[in-house]
Structures are given as structure tokens and as C-alpha cells.
Amino acid sequence: MAAMAAEEEEYEAVLCVKPAVHVYRVPPRASNRGYRAAEWQLEQPAWSGRLRITAKGKTAFIKLEDKTSGELYAQAPVEQFPGIAVESVTDSSRYFVIRIEDGNGRRAFIGVGFVDRGDAFDFNVALQDHFKWVRQQSELAKQAENPEQGPKLDLGFKEGQTIKLNIANMKKKEGGAGSPRPRPAAPGGLSLLPPPPGGKPSTAVCPSAERPTPLSAPTQLPGTPITDSLLCWPQPAAAAAPSAATADVWGDFTKASGSPSSQGQGNAGWVQF
């Protein structure tokens, strides 16, 4: 009952349709050398119509039908290809010999010829693809019944076999990211502060309590003028010109003890006792 239900569920698929095909009577084969289409009287075909290849389950059917009405002229069941049901001739690629059956146990061999060579190629390929699919289905069914007999993958390491893993971003950078590098100290033990954001770098100023030791003249770079901002200590402002009153605070004293002429002039500023 299960086999009958499986047969009822099978449907008929159309594999190939060719609109023009000729049928020829095939003389008995004289030897095992094969069929030759040149012996069939190709100018007088016995029938002309349409060829259709269908498949139901594992069996393919070559059906010869009328072009207009679709009435079945003959059909050839094919259970194996290549095989005795379909044979190629030895002198052409457009002609084949097929074995037809009427359903009552009677069989006959007829010749089939295609007008176009491409139609003959499609006829051959359609049968090859169908039976290739049949073989694949049979292999899958066997593997499903006996899964232990299928090929097993050996994923183990062979003796002396090694692998190399290349993992990206695993190299450590030199130096920690959280340990900043120490800033160099300024000459004389004074630390230099970084310039304020967005401002111009400030020049170093020495405290007024300690006067630094004389420094050598700063090296002048090409194209850079030497200015006071290059020196470490503040420059003194230009001395004002001495006035006449403070030019010599001891002038009157020296004049008073000098010559009579100068003494006479200096008495104006001194009181005599």
C-alpha cells in the first residue's frame, strides 16, 4: 500500500520538447557494428510530428505526438541511459534508434531524426541530466539508510603537523599609555611651564633676588635678530643724563680746600667760624 501511495504522488515532469522530428523504419541489424542512418531512406520518413521527453519517478518517456492535436503516436520508456532503449547511429549525430512499446508487451525499434543539429544535442543532454539526478538520489538514499558507511572527516592533527594563528591587534605598544614622558628641566634647575593654550610661548624670567651668572652671547640663528627677549635676565633701563646739581656731590668740598680762587668761589656755600 505504501508503494502504491508513493506512485500516486509522483508527477510527470516535462524535460524537453522539440517541434519537428521524423520517424524512419529501421532494417534488421546485420551485425554488431551499429546502426547507420544512410540505410534508412532519409528522403521518405514514415511519420513526422513533435517529440516530447517526460519523466515520472526514475523513468523517462520519449513520446512522439501529433503537432496539432497532441495525439500520441508512440512512446519509448527509458530506464537507463546510455542503454538499449536509446542508441546513437555511427554515421551522424542527428539520428537515434529508440525502442518503443505499446503497453501490451510488444516492442519495436524505429529511427528518429532531427531537422536541426541543436535539437539532437538538447535531446541527448535532457536524458543525461535526468539519469544523473537519478544516480544522485540513489546515493543520498543509501547514505540516509547507513549513515556510518559514509565518508568521515578526520580533523585530528597528523604527526608533526602544526598550525599558525595570526591574531590581529595583539602586539603591545612600547611604553605605557598612562605614563607620560618627563619634560626636560631648564638650565639652572628651573622647570619650564608649558605655554598657555592658544597663546604665544613665554620667555623664561629669572627671579630678581638672584642674579644669574653671566651667560655667553646667545647663538644667533640665520635670519633671527638678537633681541632682549632672548636673554634670561631683565635688561636695565637706559640711565638718564646726570643733571648739573647731582653731577658731583663732593665738588664744593674739593673746591673749598683748594686754591684761593676756588676757595673764594666756594665760600658762598660755606659758613666760616
Q: pLDDT tens digits for 16-39? A: 999 999 999 998 877 777 888 998
Is the pTM higher than 0.75? The answer reads no
pLDDT, mean over the chain: 73
C-beta separation of 234 from 205 below 8 A: yes
Residue 88 lies in a domain: yes
Report the half-sphere exposure of 196 (CA within 13 A, side-chain side): 4
Residue 67 lies in a domain: yes
What is the mean predicted confidence (pLDDT) over 257-267?
49
Residue 78 lies in a domain: yes
Residue 162: per-residue pLDDT: 83
**139-157 pLDDT, tens digit each:** 888 877 776 665 666 777 7
**51-90 pLDDT, tens digit each:** 999 999 899 999 999 988 989 999 999 998 888 899 999 9
Cell of 26: 529501421
Triad 193, 199, 201: Cα angle to 5°: 45
What is the mean predicted confidence (pLDDT) over 95-122?
92
Residue 202 lies in a domain: no
Residue 105 lies in a domain: yes
Amino acid at 13: A
Residue 139: per-residue pLDDT: 86
User: Is 189 strand, coil or helix?
Assistant: helix
In terms of residue numbers, what domain contains 107? Answer: 12-28+39-145
Residue 93: per-residue pLDDT: 92
Residue 114: per-residue pLDDT: 94
pLDDT at 111 over 80: yes
CATH code for position 22: 2.30.29.30
pLDDT at 266 over 50: no
Alpha carbon distance 32, 97 (integer Å): 14
C-beta separation of 87 from 69 below 8 A: no
Alpha carbon distance 66, 68 (integer Å): 6
Residue 81 lies in a domain: yes
User: Is 90 strand, coil or helix?
Assistant: coil
Residue 173 lies in a domain: no
Contacts of 72 (CB under 8 A, 6+ apart): 63, 64, 65
Residue 186: per-residue pLDDT: 52
The DSSP secondary-structure symbol of 5 reads H
Place of cell 520538447: 17
Work out the pLDDT band at 2, boundaries 50, 70, 90: very low
Residue 24: per-residue pLDDT: 95
Residue 167: per-residue pLDDT: 79
Work out the pLDDT band at 180, boundaries 50, 70, 90: low
Residue 206: per-residue pLDDT: 47
Full DSSP string of 14-65: EEEEEEEEEEEE-PPP-STT---GGGS-TTS-SEEEEEEEEEETTEEEEEEE
What is the mean predicted confidence (pLDDT) over 111-129?
93
Residue 5: per-residue pLDDT: 47
Cell of 170: 595583539
Residue 218 lies in a domain: no
Alpha carbon distance 24, 36 (integer Å): 12
Q: How many domains does the chain have?
A: 1
Closest CA to 23 of 59, 64, 81: 64
Full DSSP string of 52-120: EEEEETTEEEEEEE-TTT--EEEEEEESSSSBTTEEE-SS-SSEEEEEEE-SSS-EEEEEEEESSHHHH
**181-239 pLDDT, tens digit each:** 655 555 555 555 566 565 555 454 445 555 555 555 555 555 555 555 554 545 555 54
